[in-house]
Amino acid sequence: MLHKQCKCGETMGIRLRTVIFQNKVEIENVPIYSCDACQRTEVFPAVKPVLTGFIKTLGREPEKKQVFFNEMSELAHLMYKVTNKENIHSAVERIIEERINELLDLLLLAQSLDDREWMEDVRHRLSQITSHVMTTYDFS
């Protein structure tokens, strides 16, 4: 669901935006619902746990830096790829399929190296995609 109704009654679209934390940390490519009518914004609910989890790791006095949320969140990564000009002629389903295949290849590599931390990271990334796909497409 890439659109939703705003409290003002207009439609909110989703965009990749920069979130600035404590005027020090720029978090690029965060999926945000935005209303052009009233300027209301809110973080896309499916990525909010990843964003809040990352912000908690920054502590009370974070260093000034720029990070790319699409490197932390698979949904943000997919939205970034879909909106990238290089992929303008690619179907969304194909981009998702390619990313799942990339992650499965990485999982096999991590397993062959017996790198448990890497395997868990890849599994977590796969679960971000599959849990969203399952809620987006009602298979019942």
Q: Which amino acid makes up residue 102?
A: E
Among the listed residues 49, 52, 58, 55, the one whose alpha carbon sits nearest the alpha carbon of residue 128? 49
Burial category of 77 from C-beta neighbours within 10 Å (exposed 0-12, middle 13-18, buried 19 and up): buried
Q: 5: which 2 tokens?
A: 């109704």
Residue with tokens 């009233």: 38
Task: Specify the DSSP class assigned to residue 45.
Answer: T
Q: What is the gyration radius of the CA atoms in the chain, in angstroms?
A: 17
The residue ranking higher by pLDDT, 66 or 136, is: 66
d(CA 36, CA 33): 10
Whole-number percent of the chain with pLDDT over 70: 92
pLDDT score of 40 more than 90: yes
**The pTM is what?**
0.77
Q: What is the pLDDT of residue 91?
A: 79
- Greater pLDDT, 3 or 1: 3
Q: Which two tokens stand for residue 137?
A: 């497409």
Euclidean distance between CA atoms 30 and 53, whole angstroms: 14
Highest-pLDDT range among 10-14, 26-30, 136-140: 26-30
Does residue 38 contact residue 5 with C-beta atoms inside 8 Å?
no
pLDDT digits 0-9 by tens, 55-79: 999 988 999 999 999 999 999 999 8
Who contacts 62 (Cβ-Cβ below 8 Å, separation ≥6)?
Answer: 21, 22, 24, 25
